[in-house]
Amino acid sequence: MPQPRTLYDLRNSPWNQPPLLGRTVRAELRANLIQALEQGTPLFTGIVGYEDTVLPQIVNAVLAQHDFILLGLRGQAKTRILRALVELLDPVIPVIAGSEVNDDPFRPISKFGRDLVAECGDATPIIWLKREDRYVEKLATPDVTIADMIGDLDPIKAARGGHLLSDELSMHFGLLPRANRGIFAINELPDLSGKIQVGLFNILQEGDVQIKGYPVRLPLDVLMCFTANPEDYTARGKIITPLKDRIGSEILTHYPHTVELGMEITLQEAWVDRGAKPVDLPDFVLEVIERVAFEARQDKRVDRRSGVSQRLPISVLEHAISSAERRALVHHEATITPRITDIYAALPSITGKLELEYEGELQGADVIGRELIRRAAGATMMERIGHLDLASIVAWFDAGGALKIAGDEKADACLKGFSVVPGLVNAVVAGELAGRNETAKVVAGCELILEGLAAQKKITRSDELGYSRIRPERNKEGGHGKGGISFG
């Protein structure tokens, strides 16, 4: 059936019949959500780890027709969730052509819409608004004004139209009126000044606002959604009480509760497929990358109020794959296989995402980043092969053995070096980190074990000496000790 193009055609369509007639945005979202729940349609696709915590609360808020706020630290998919609400809107809705506030043809709220219907009657032109165009988002900053959010009186518009400044036709509408019959999302709500928050509350609660001394009546139909950091929202008093009281539901987001969930999110979001060469990503390398974020969230030197974004492991994975890709291109290797040294190469993706406390600032982000990688490798090794006896490997280093292999060395050369250490390659195979014929993965597994032993302080690792049992500060000669081997 063709879409109606005039008010007359619209009156003779299902849009002039219940349940579509006069349905609010909240009722629309609720009806479509009920239908999705009854049909078992997946909700909020791409959101992982919130199935039993955040998403049920959002569903309840929508069913209750509440405005709501998502409270959480950075990198917890708050904005992504809000944008996913668009899928619960109708595919299209009718609006009066030319209306800046998406006027309902049957109940226009603007003077423009009312005047047009009065002038044209059944011939009033109708256009159709897609669901994607009914979502308006604003990042709150201290310099946001009432004109940005609500609107302003435009003298030029008044002069050209021959209107008084007090006339509604002289008004330039802001973001909120333009979101009428849709969803309006404000990120980082506490950063809005108190004056703007009062304006939001007034127009939501009372449906009116004063602009430069002129009262304007705008009974908007909008679902309001917000995001905020819990520290700003609760402790610093940046939210005016009437607005806080007006928000129907307060929902707490969180980081992944398990490493496995984090790995799933990271792998879903990261750019892994590089096209020219296939990427063979060892799952234990991905686990080390994810554990870096988990270790950082527990480190006292990292500011917990700022949090450690899930973007950290995503960026580290992409950077590590790029490091492995560069090595594969230089040595003409068939596949791209990241290993632990590639995670160290991704330090720039770690240091820039850590907000440090005073103690951390003194030590430096680079030092802390390296410690986080080593601890993550140690935890991964214990999780994967903690049951294996690695005494022969430690004994070789205790006897004076040392090994230094360049991170850019090709896999075959690295494997020759690691094969010198008794039991190292066998431990990789026995622990099912890699098959014996998977050279690149075996090398990655050997690095994991050595990094894990270094994390347990059973051997020492330094950029100058590589892996050894001799402390770098005690080695006055700068050599590798008895039995030392260097590659690359």
Q: Which tens digits make up the pLDDT trace of 101-111?
A: 999 999 998 88
- Single-letter amino acid code for the residue at 333: E
The predicted pLDDT at position 215 comes to 72
pLDDT of 160-201, one tens digit each? 777 766 667 777 888 998 999 999 999 999 988 888 888 787
pLDDT exceeds 80 at position 475: no
Contact 366, 347 (CB under 8 A): yes
SS3 state of residue 273: coil
**Distance between CA atoms of 423 and 9, rounded to whole angstroms?**
81
Angle in degrees, CA 436, 437, 439, rounded to 5: 95
Q: What is the pLDDT of residue 442?
A: 97
Mean pLDDT of all residues in the chain?
A: 89
Is residue 388 classed as helix, strand or coil in its secondary structure? coil
The pLDDT tens digits for 321-337 are: 999 999 999 999 999 99
CA distances from residue 290 to 16, 287, 377, 412 in whole angstroms, order as listed: 53, 5, 10, 27
Give the residue from 387, 439, 395 showing the smallest Cα distance to 418: 439
Q: Which of 436, 353, 450 is nearest to 401 (CA)?
A: 450
Q: Which of 19-23, 159-163, 165-169, 420-424 has the highest mean pLDDT?
A: 420-424
The predicted structure's pLDDT at residue 484: 42
Q: Which amino acid type is present at position 234?
A: T
Q: What is the pLDDT of residues 63-92, one digit of tens each?
A: 999 999 999 999 999 999 999 999 999 999
Residues 172 and 412: their CA atoms lie apart, in Å, by 68
Cβ-in-10-Å burial (0-12, 13-18, 19+) of 303 comes to middle
Query: Model confidence over 225-278: pLDDT tens digits?
Result: 999 988 878 645 588 888 888 899 999 999 999 999 999 999 999 999 988 899
Domains in the chain: boundaries: 7-252, 259-487
Q: Which of 105, 23, 12, 30 is nearest to 66 (CA)?
A: 30
Query: Of all residues in the chain, what percent are helix, strand and coil, respectively (each to 5)?
Result: 50, 15, 35
Q: Which two structure tokens, joined as six digits, stand for 41? A: 């349609």
481 has a pLDDT exceeding 80? no
CA gyration radius, the chain: 30
* Residue type (1 letter), 247: I
Query: Does the domain formed by 7-252 have CATH 3.30.70.270?
Result: no
